[in-house]
């Protein structure tokens, strides 16, 4: 395979970037059995003991001591006053939005560069997602650009932010901490204050990530976490709502448990609730996983450091590092191709996957999916650029 010609100083040939990436991944992960998945769960703690206890005691379903314990443990860990565990992260987001007052005919600001669940949860409430650009520094929603955009298109009327172009109220903003990297929450809080927007964090990818020393998910009114099988900790499938507001937490618990009033034998439901509860079996797995999160995070940081130093010499590629005001969980490690090399993205994906390293492109921008292509959007030039240059590389903590 050709490399840089030592006699001239010209750029490497087109094949050089994929080859250099494969070689660098080999140097970082050479010991591991291939194919190496992008992310897989690690069960090295008390998972078997806790799950077995559920089966032995027959408490496998919608109530049980592990549900209560996981809620307490999550609140302790994140520093939130309360946590309510639910069936998955998408359901958590849905309930957060509904409790924030988002309803039919509203708009909600969401990053165009996100997993589809962020926009879907908005749609479940009957509201319309309104797509926002990202910043390269955090890979998340750009608060300054959003502020300038709202100055142009929005107005606060009687305390409600209104999109003057569509006439619809803009009720909330849902930042997403992309691959675990915290967005600029401080500046975003200022925008929310100016425009009276509810701040709901999609912290599905960022459990354990800090912004200025405080856990992501705890800055807004409510935050949504996910414990899907590919996330930093897993309950098989699951999620949680975190909040400092006890009233909202009680409401969230009520809404996600079919809105059933406490009664020793009668079925009394006082509104249309959801069956969104997390079974005890899943919560048991979650309790065992959460006990190991400090170890997982430590390994993930070491893996990220290994990638970072190995990739410094790879021309045309940079390795994404946490923003300076944040500490990231490095859920999925991110490689960014230089603007000039973005045409080689698919060749890099092919070469790495062929070599047994599961790498993936980032999501297609939500604003270009068929069900969302007519939704309002601001200029999305940075998100578009990231969409074409971003590649995730294997990030399971047990790789180090």
Q: With H, G, I as helix, E, B as strand and everything else as coil, classify residue 104.
A: coil
Nearest to 386 by CA among 187, 137, 158, 185: 137
CA distances from 184 to 180, 209, 323, 330, 379 (A): 13, 13, 9, 16, 19
- Nearer Cβ to ligand PLP (66/227): 227
Q: What are phi and psi of 21, to 5 degrees?
A: -70, -45
- Nearer Cβ to ligand PLP (149/276): 276
Contact assessment for residue 74 and residue 80, using Cβ atoms and an 8 Å cutoff:
yes
Distance CA 98, CA 297 (A): 32
- Nearer Cβ to ligand PLP (19/359): 359
- Nearer Cβ to ligand PLP (88/358): 88
Q: What are phi and psi of 251, to 5 degrees?
A: -60, -45
Distance CA 373, CA 367 (A): 5
C-alpha neighbours within 13 Å on the C-beta side of residue 262: 2
CB of 158 to ligand PLP, least distance (A): 32
Residues in the site for ligand PLP, rule: CB under 6 A?
88-90, 114-115, 117-118, 176, 202, 204-205, 226, 228, 239
DSSP character for 237?
S
- Nearer Cβ to ligand PLP (121/162): 121
Query: What residue is closest to ligand PLP based on CB?
Result: 89
CB of 86 to ligand PLP, least distance (A): 9
Contact assessment for residue 282 and residue 236, using Cβ atoms and an 8 Å cutoff:
yes
CB of 136 to ligand PLP, least distance (A): 18
CB of 156 to ligand PLP, least distance (A): 28
CB of 372 to ligand PLP, least distance (A): 15
Nearest to 129 by CA among 362, 374, 370, 364: 374
Other beta carbons within 10 angstroms of residue 72's beta carbon come to 12
CB of 204 to ligand PLP, least distance (A): 3
- Nearer Cβ to ligand PLP (154/240): 240
- Nearer Cβ to ligand PLP (19/178): 178
């Amino acid at each position: 395979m050709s490399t840089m010609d030592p006699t001239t100083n010209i750029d490497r040939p087109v094949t050089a970037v994929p080859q250099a990436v494969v070689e660098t991944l080999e140097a970082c992960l050479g010991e591991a059995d291939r194919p190496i998945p992008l992310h897989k769960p690690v069960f090295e703690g008390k998972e078997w003991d806790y799950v077995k206890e559920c089966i032995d005691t027959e408490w496998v379903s919608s109530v049980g001591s592990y549900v209560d314990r996981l809620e307490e443990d999550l609140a302790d860990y994140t520093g939130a006053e309360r946590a309510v565990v639910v069936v998955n992260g998408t359901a958590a987001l849905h309930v957060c939005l509904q409790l924030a007052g988002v309803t039919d005919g509203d708009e909600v600001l969401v990053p165009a560069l996100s997993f589809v669940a962020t926009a879907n949860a908005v749609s479940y409430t009957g509201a319309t997602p309104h797509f926002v650009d990202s910043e390269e520094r955090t890979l998340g929603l750009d608060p300054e650009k959003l502020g300038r955009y709202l100055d142009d298109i929005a107005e606060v009327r009687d305390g409600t932010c209104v999109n003057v172009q569509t006439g619809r109220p803009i009720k909330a903003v849902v930042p997403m901490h992309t691959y675990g990297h915290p967005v600029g929450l401080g500046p975003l809080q200022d925008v929310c204050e100016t425009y009276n927007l509810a701040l709901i964090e999609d912290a599905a990818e960022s459990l354990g990530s800090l912004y200025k020393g405080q856990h992501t998910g705890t800055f807004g009114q409510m935050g949504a976490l996910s414990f899907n099988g590919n996330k930093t900790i897993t309950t098989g499938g699951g999620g949680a709502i975190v909040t400092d507001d006890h009233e909202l937490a009680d409401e969230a618990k009520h809404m996600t448990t079919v809105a059933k009033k406490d009664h020793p034998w009668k079925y009394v439901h006082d509104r249309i609730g959801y069956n969104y509860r997390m079974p005890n079996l899943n919560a048991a797995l979650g309790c065992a996983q959460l006990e190991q999160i400090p170890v997982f995070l430590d390994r993930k940081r070491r893996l990220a450091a290994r990638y970072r130093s190995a990739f410094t010499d790879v021309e045309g590629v940079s390795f994404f590092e946490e923003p300076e005001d944040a500490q990231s969980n490095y859920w999925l490690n991110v490689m960014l191709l230089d603007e000039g090399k973005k045409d080689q993205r698919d060749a890099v994906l092919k070469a790495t996957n062929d070599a047994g390293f599961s790498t993936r492109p980032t999501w297609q921008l939500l604003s270009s999916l068929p069900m969302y292509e007519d939704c309002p959007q601001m200029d999305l030039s940075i998100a578009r650029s990231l969409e074409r240059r971003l590649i995730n590389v294997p990030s399971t903590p047990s790789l180090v």
